[in-house]
Structure 1
Amino acid sequence: MWIKEKTNQLKQKYNTSCPYQLANHLKIHVMQHDLHHEINGYYKYDRRNQYIVINSKLEKHTQKVVCAHELGHALFHKNVNTPFMSQSTFLSVSKIEREANCFAAELLIPDESFSEYETIQTIASLHKVPIELVELKCEKLI
């Protein structure tokens, strides 16, 4: 629940759920780079500077999900450089990957979606997020 509380505090403080805007407010540099097709993005901490690097070849809605995930790392694992976010990251059992996914789910999927729409697929499609993020958020609501 602490991730949900932290996410709600950020959304309220900065009046946005956009990961790019939040990163900007928090002085976390977000940049796009032409990365290998298996790498969606990564987070890097270097000399008190924080960076989120996103694969420029990804579709815009996927880049937003990657930004939200890496922002989770920047907030909760500040001094840990994450090697990369790949397609398999959503299946990861690693604690830090799961926390970053929970943050992305809380940031990008409003709670109200679960009372307004009937299926997980509909919610994923509406918010343009992977179904795994919707399932993860659904687990937390139960």
Structure 2
Amino acid sequence: MNEIEKLAHRITARFQSNSPFCLCDRMGVQVQRLDLPEQVRGFCFRTESGKPIIVLKETLSKTESGYCCAHELGHLLLHPGLNAQVIADLTNLCAPRYEREADFFAACLLIDPNFEEWSLTYNPLTQEQIALLSGLPRRVVGLRFEK
């Protein structure tokens, strides 16, 4: 188990929930829904006083909102002080590593860690089926099961 998986397991155990909205509430992260541009699903930042805020596109479905919130919470926890958009704007560089880590965190948070064992024992599901059932993007589900 890597450090990102450990972090996801620690906070779900501590707060007895894997709901990103519940976790944000308990961790003091404000979540707002706003009318964002079409290509923007969400972002996060800290105020000058250090208060963490996640902003989600108001038209996202419940499933999309959960994934996006988990992804942004991943950024807040894994990349404190970094803002991928500012990095991209100032340096003309993309930050794919940070995005992949936030996606992996979301997958670890939203896909039950016992699911793979359960699936093998009872009724094996493909990653495509898991993606359909969970509403997560296929690439995010794939990250969870990479070895």
Q: TM-score, normalised to structure 1's length?
A: 0.87
> Which moves more between the two structures, 112-121 or 28-37?
112-121
Per-residue CA shift, 1:49-79, capped at 9, x if unaligned? 1110000111111011000000001111121
Equivalent pair of 1:52/1:71 in contact (CA under 8 Å): yes
Q: 1:114 Cα deviation (Å)? A: 2.6
Larger radius of gyration: 2
AA of the residue aligned to 2:101 = E
Equivalent pair of 2:84/2:98 in contact (CA under 8 Å): no
AA of the residue aligned to 1:2 = E
RMSD: 1.7
AA of the residue aligned to 2:78 = F
Match of 2:14 in 1: 13
Match of 2:46 in 1: 45
Match of 2:141 in 1: 134
Equivalences, count = 133
Which 5+ residue runs of structure 1 have no aligned equivalent? 85-91
Residues 93 and 112 of structure 1, relative CA distance in 2, 3 Å threshold: farther
Identical aligned residues as a percent: 29
Which 5+ residue runs of structure 2 have no aligned equivalent? 87-93
Per-residue CA shift, 1:26-55, capped at 9, x if unaligned? 111111001011110001112211110000
- Partner Cα separation in structure 1 for residue 80 and residue 130 of structure 2: 30
Q: TM-score, normalised to structure 2's length?
A: 0.84
Residues 7 and 17 of structure 1, relative CA distance in 2, 3 Å threshold: same
AA of the residue aligned to 2:98 = I
Equivalent pair of 1:113/1:123 in contact (CA under 8 Å): no
2:47 is equivalent to residue 62 of structure 1: no
Equivalent pair of 1:33/1:53 in contact (CA under 8 Å): yes
* 2:112 counterpart SS class: coil
Q: Name the structure with the higher strand share.
A: 1
Residues 49 and 82 of structure 1, relative CA distance in 2, 3 Å threshold: farther
- Partner Cα separation in structure 2 for residue 76 and residue 11 of structure 1: 15
Residues 130 and 32 of structure 1, relative CA distance in 2, 3 Å threshold: same
* 1:51 counterpart SS class: strand
